[in-house]
Amino acid sequence: MPATAEALSFRLRPRADRRWLIGPLLLLVGIPLLMLLTSWAQPQPDIWQHLSRYLLPRLIGHTALMMVVVGVGVAVLGVGLAWLSACCEYPLRRILDPLLVLPLAFPTYVLAFIYLGMLDFAGPIQTAWREWFGASPALLEAISRPGGVLFILVLAFYPYVYLLARAAFVGGGLAAFEASRSLGQGPVRTFFRVSLPMARPAVVAGLALALMETLADFGAVSIYGFDTFTTAIYRTWLGMFNLTAAVQLASILMLFVLLLLGIERFSRSSRVVQSERRPTGHRIRLGGLRGWLATSLQLAVLLVGVVLPLVQLLVWAWPQMSDLLDSRIIGVVFNTMVLGLSGALAVVLGGLLLLAATYRASKRQQLLGEVAALGYAIPGTVLAVAIMLAFLQFDQLAGTSLAGGMAALVMAYLIRFLRAAWGPLDSVAGRIRPQYIEVARSLGVPRWYRLWRVNLPLLWPGLVTAFLLALVEVAKEMPATLMLRPFGWETLAVRIYELTAEGQWEMAAVPALILVLLGAIPVAVLIRSGRVRAI
């Protein structure tokens, strides 16, 4: 019987051993974790006596406060906006829905210095308020103080919960809501007893991602002077000149991260598969005042999270626009792009390697792939100190001088952002019909030629998306770049940190504006890919 394309099914043998492909990536992730563990073999009693007496209680208290406040904030805001977007009908909904992910375009440290510059005692808003009404309101004063960074983090990270909760509500929220209402349950009771429990795994997963980003944040907390483990790690290494104690501090921070990873993994195991499809029920029509209240809520979030920061950034940057032609700014942009392109290339190659190891593989190999991509959960400061310690020990044994060079920095990017490339590649690979590859194989096409002429063209949309995402993430990354960069090497993120550390908000506006425009790229990709669309 003649073979047909339909009859030729591409099946990788379930037990085909491709663990050797994952091995190098597992080793990369294992190096910083090994450094965290082995660092305790060198006690630092003097440093730890100082840290435990003066700093450690405050660090643990601030970390717990961040997790509670930011967790509640992103959950309430993200779930509320997701429910309105997915299940309700109100004025301007189709326009506002996709725009609610735009705060992702702003790095947290950019939002932080914008709001600190606008709302501090000498800023334009409090100054104008005092001239018009007398004393400044307590809310403005609270946001301008160190604790105001919690407001910034909620504003920056709620889209993680919004995206996942919205997908869950779209996938089945309306049908279940209507069924419950038909049984005589009230709307509020139905939401809390039916719709929210159905979306709970997705909400928990988004919440875990937001909290991991919160624990990893360095720029915003340092600008506000809010002591956390990330700032303490930086000061211990570069202030006390004790890399070992910094690595030991980093290992404590990793305990919080591992806790969140466990929660996220548990939520994933119980998650109901949701699809981004049209709701099967009828949207809840919010008419009159209720409809405009829903619209006003979304407009207020966009005003605070996008419009005001962008306007203030343009106001500060406009007088400095001539600096775009300044040789120093050009050099900083050039350095950023060199690092971005180098890091993105390494990340995409790593993503391809991981895809080759996990595509239609056994469950054990897929689990190994998940472990190899866990670097996204390691904060940048933790990666930086662990990688520096590893490179110093390697240099000592091998007689090289790799520490402080580009190799350490690119390695940090590869570990941190591997999942950013693997996700789009795996998504595109899952939609490729295996028959295409099997037909090429049956025609005797050599493996490497088949890879070049068949596999890569089919993966091209995922490759472009992965490269853009990795490029932008590398360009925005601050702590690892700040701590591992070669001497004198300035990027946009480093330039912003140096200027904001001196309170020069206006001077930081031009590099910040460039970064925001870069940050808009993955958001545009996210909207264009259909992950967020008006339905």
Task: Answer whether 103's CB lies under 8 Å from 155's CB.
Answer: yes
pLDDT tens for 300-344 read: 999 999 999 999 999 998 888 776 777 778 889 999 999 999 999
**Is the pLDDT score of 492 beyond 70?**
yes
Average the pLDDT over 200-226 and give the result: 91
DSSP 266-322: HHHHTPPP------SS--EE--HHHHHHHHHHHHHHHIIIIIHHHHHHHHHHGGGGG
Confidence band of 446 (pLDDT split at 50, 70, 90): low
Confidence band of 173 (pLDDT split at 50, 70, 90): low
pLDDT of the residue at 344: 92
**Is the pLDDT score of 115 beyond 50?**
yes
Provide the residue count of the chain: 535
> What DSSP character marks residue 359?
T
Task: Answer whether 480's CB lies under 8 Å from 413's CB.
Answer: yes
Nearest residue to 471 via CA among 479, 460, 463: 463
Least confident stretch, 247-256, 343-352, 463-472: 463-472
pLDDT tens for 423-436 read: 888 877 776 666 66
**What pTM, to 2 d.p., does this model score?**
0.85
Phi-psi region of 254 (alpha: psi -120 to 50; beta: other; left: phi over 0): alpha
pLDDT tens for 242-285 read: 889 999 999 999 998 888 888 777 766 554 444 444 545 577 78
Cβ neighbours around 400 below 10 Å, total: 12
First to last CA, the chain: 47
Q: How far apart are CA 185 and CA 470, in angstroms?
A: 47
Q: How far apart are CA 319 and CA 321, in angstroms?
A: 6
pLDDT of the residue at 413: 94
Q: What b/e string do you get for 316-342 counting C-beta neighbours within 10 Å, with b at 16 or more?
A: bbeebeeeeeeeebeebbebbbebbee
pLDDT tens for 351-405 read: 888 888 887 777 777 777 888 888 888 999 999 999 999 999 888 888 788 887 8
